[in-house]
Amino acid sequence: MDMKALVYTGPNQMTYRNEEVPTPREDEVLVEIRAVGICGSDLHAYLGHDERRPAPLILGHEGAGIVHGGEWDQQAVVINPLVSCGECEYCLNGFANQCQSRQIISMPPREGAFAEFVAIPKRNLVPVPEGMSLSTASLAEPIATGWHAVTKGAELSKRPLVENKTLVYGGGAVGLAAALSLAAQGCKQIYLAETNALRRETVEKANVATVFDPLTDQVVGENTMDLVVDCVGNKHTRMGASAAVKPGGVIIHVGLQDSFEGLDVRKFTLQEVTFAGSYTYTMQDFKATLEAMHNGALGALDWIQERPLSDGANAFDDLLNGRIAAAKVVLLPEG
């Protein structure tokens, strides 16, 4: 049986075409995708910069949809795209996101969710709360990434979030999610640095943080931030984070723009700064995020732009050229 899919066919090439519907394995079910977000890592792969994602490949890992068949037939679900083994020391210790044999949909051997169907283990599905649209539900994945980072920051911080001044780098979905998660977890003083004016507008509307352009505004003083969450992750944001963090403070590093430089190790040592990497989320983060989305703790979640899956290539182009104010573009298969 065939389905429509948006296939990455080579650097800067995205082809909307027929592909075979995947066959679920024994522990898996088939999910009909109704909404799937575009992530920065999809853009990265599309540009040919991710050797873990060779063409041809169906990208997309932020999916929500309807189960076909089995016990959960017709259930609306959101997909946790990380498939872990459940048996290694990381899984047993509650860090399935560090499982060394983990897979993620949109990376071989698993195809992604820019398609009408995805095969996925049933244990990776979370029911969508009553009344939540599938577009909104698809935000659970990027928001859980911000939620996990904030949870880690709160754990490592010497004082509770309610006492902390926090700076977030990046006003995309994960940065905004980090700011919303900080507020939901009790933080009262949140600053957010974003260089794109369209994105700043979107974040300002969420009314959760003091938003500024770090290239032109010095809103945040040196040695003043208890916690910095870097959702960009390049040399410049790390230099900014190093300067802004206060003695004994914490930097959580989520972004993956580049791999080296920018950290002031001497300051980290003399002032006992803690710098910790944060990658994706655990299933517990995923569920807690969906609950916070449902009970309103994360605000209106209206920072989405919906586009048909068939228009995906144009959406990629718009995103790469900074023409989209929405923090998240969600693609909708026509079904």
Torsion angle, CA of 295/300/305/309, rounded to 10 degrees? 10
Find the shortest distance in angstroms from Cβ 49 to a second copy.
Answer: 13
Find the shortest distance in angstroms from Cβ 280 to a second copy.
Answer: 9
> Is residue 259 at the binding interface for a second copy, with CB under 8 A as the rule?
yes
Identity at 56, one-letter amino acid code: P
Please state the separation of Cα 247 from the chain's center in Å. Answer: 29
Do the beta carbons of residue 72 and residue 120 sit within 8 Å? no
| CB closer to a second copy, 218 vs 269 | 269
**Sign of torsion over alpha carbons 213, 215, 219, 222:** positive
Give, to the nearest 10 degrees, the angle between helix 173-184 and helix 283-294: 80
Residues 6+ apart with CB under 8 A from 269: none
Find the shortest distance in angstroms from Cβ 230 to a second copy.
Answer: 9
The C-alpha angle 292, 232, 108, rounded to 5 degrees, equals: 80
**The binder of a second copy chosen from 140, 161, 273, 304 (CB under 8 A):** 273
Find the shortest distance in angstroms from Cβ 214 to a second copy.
Answer: 19
Cα–Cα dist 92/318, whole Å: 42
**The binder of a second copy chosen from 127, 274, 313, 318 (CB under 8 A):** 274
Smallest Cα–Cα separation from 62: which of 127, 140, 7? 140
> Is residue 10 at the binding interface for a second copy, with CB under 8 A as the rule?
no
> Is residue 236 at the binding interface for a second copy, with CB under 8 A as the rule?
no
DSSP 3-state assignment of 17? strand
> Is residue 264 at the binding interface for a second copy, with CB under 8 A as the rule?
yes
Q: Is 274 exposed, middle or buried (0-12, 13-18, 19+ CB in 10 A)?
A: middle
Find the shortest distance in angstroms from Cβ 325 to a second copy.
Answer: 27
> Is residue 261 at the binding interface for a second copy, with CB under 8 A as the rule?
yes
| CB closer to a second copy, 270 vs 300 | 270
Torsion angle, CA of 210/216/217/221, rounded to 10 degrees? 120
| CB closer to a second copy, 220 vs 254 | 254
> Is residue 159 at the binding interface for a second copy, with CB under 8 A as the rule?
yes
**What backbone phi and psi angles, to 5 degrees, belong to 8?**
-75, 115
Stretch that binds a second copy, among 71-79, 266-274, 287-295, 299-307 (CB under 8 A): 266-274
**The binder of a second copy chosen from 272, 284, 295, 320 (CB under 8 A):** 272
> Is residue 255 at the binding interface for a second copy, with CB under 8 A as the rule?
yes
Smallest Cα–Cα separation from 155: which of 285, 325, 333? 285
Residues in 90-109 at the binding interface with a second copy, rule: CB under 8 A:
90, 93, 95, 97-98, 100
| CB closer to a second copy, 24 vs 170 | 170
Tell me the chain's radius of gyration from C-alpha atoms.
19
> Is residue 277 at the binding interface for a second copy, with CB under 8 A as the rule?
yes
Kindly state the tokens that stand for 167: 């700076």
**The binder of a second copy chosen from 269, 321, 323, 334 (CB under 8 A):** 269
**The binder of a second copy chosen from 85, 271, 313, 318 (CB under 8 A):** 271
**The binder of a second copy chosen from 114, 191, 275, 286 (CB under 8 A):** 275
Identity at 40, one-letter amino acid code: G
Find the shortest distance in angstroms from Cβ 58 to a second copy.
Answer: 22
Task: Catalog residues that contact a second copy under the rule CB under 8 A.
Answer: 90, 93, 95, 97-98, 100, 152, 156, 158-159, 233, 238, 247-248, 253-256, 258-279
